[in-house]
Amino acid sequence: MKTVVVGLSGGVDSSVACAILKEQGYNVIGLFMRNWDSTTNNDVLGNPDVDNEICPQEEDYNDAEKVAKKLDIPLYRVDFIKEYWDNVFTYFLDEYKKGRTPNPDILCNKYIKFDAFIEHAKKFNPDYIAMGHYARVEHGEHHKMLRGIDDNKDQTYFLSQLTENQLSTILFPVGDLTKQEVRDIAHKYDLATKDKKDSTGICFIGERDFNKFLNNYLPASPGNMITEEGQFISKHSGLMYYTIGQRKGLGIGGSKEFGNEPWFVIGKDLEKNELIVGQGFHHDTLYSDSCLVDEINLINMDKFDGELKCTAKFRYRQKDNVVTIKFIGDEILVTYKEGVRAVTPGQAAVFYQGDLCLGGGFIKEVYKNNKKCKY
C-alpha cells in the first residue's frame, strides 16, 4: 500500500481529496498547516500594537479533525509561521513598498505548501504528496501540469512557480472534478466540510479591513489624485491601497465638470506620490501591448532562443490572451498585439499551450507603443 500525505486544510476540497485517495487504496495521512499567527509575528516584528485579530485557523483545524475522524485517518499539525513570514509576507510588504500589487498565494504555494510542507512530510516516508487544488499532473518521463477540468476553479495560475521536480510526487485528486462533483462526494461521505463556504482572500488578512491591516505594517502616505493632464480630483489615502484598473474605493462621484462616467485607477507616480485616474472602463491608458516578466519559472522547458507563441493569463480567471514570448537576458518579453486591459506590475504572467501550463513569472514593467506605462 502506497502512502500519501495530504495537506488537509479544513476546507471541502482537501477533505474530498482525502476521501478519494482512501477509496483508491492509499494509506492516507492528513497534515494541517498553520502558517500565520498574529501574536507570534508581532513579537518577531517587535510591534505589539498591531491589530491582533486572528484568522479562523482554529476553526479550520477543528473541521480537519472532524474529517480525519470520519475517514479514519491520522491527522498531524505543523507550524510554518516563520517560513511564511520569511518567504511570503516579507515579499508581500516589499512589493507594496515598490507600489506594485503582489500575489502572495503564488509564493505560498512555492515556498510553503510545496516546499516546507514536502520537507516536513518526508518524516512519514510518503510515496506522494497531495493537495486539494484544481489542477492535474500528468506523470511520465516528464511531469506536466495541466489545467483543472473545472475552468471556473482552475488553480494552475497560482501553481505556476512549481518545478517539475516538485510535481514528480504531487497528486491533485480533485483536478478531474467540477466543484459540484466535489460537493457531491463530500455529501456522499457526510463530511463536516460538505457545505462549508470556500475561503477567499489571504489568510493573514481574512475578513478584516485590508487598508487597516496593511497600515499596521506600512504606514500610509496620502497624496493627490489627479487626471493624466495633472488636474486635481481628490486625495488618495496611500498608493499601496490601489491597483491598476480599480474602480471601487476611489470616492469620486459625478460632477458638472466631468460628468457621471465612472473613474478608474490608470497609473501611479511614486516619486510625486500621485494617483492617476481616468474615466471609463475601457480608458485607453489602461491598455498595453507588451510587458517584461522576471523571476521566470518554466516547468517542462529550458530557456529558449527565438520566439514562442502561446497564451497567457495576467490575472486569475482572466481569459487566455494570445501572446508571443521571447527571452531578453533572464527575463521574458511578452507581446500581445490585441492589447490587454490592466496588466499590473507585481501580478503573475502565466503561460499555456492548450491545457498545459508552461510556468510563468512576475510582471516587472508594462509597455504601450514601446513606451513604459506609469503603472
Q: Of 18, 55, 108, 373, which is the active-site residue?
A: 108
Would you call 203 a catalytic residue per the annotation? Answer: yes
Calpha distance 359→315 (Å, rounded): 14
- Establish whether 108 is a catalytic residue: yes
Query: Annotated catalytic residue: which of 203, 291, 357, 373?
Result: 203
Q: Where in the sequence numbering do the catalytic residues fall?
A: 108, 203
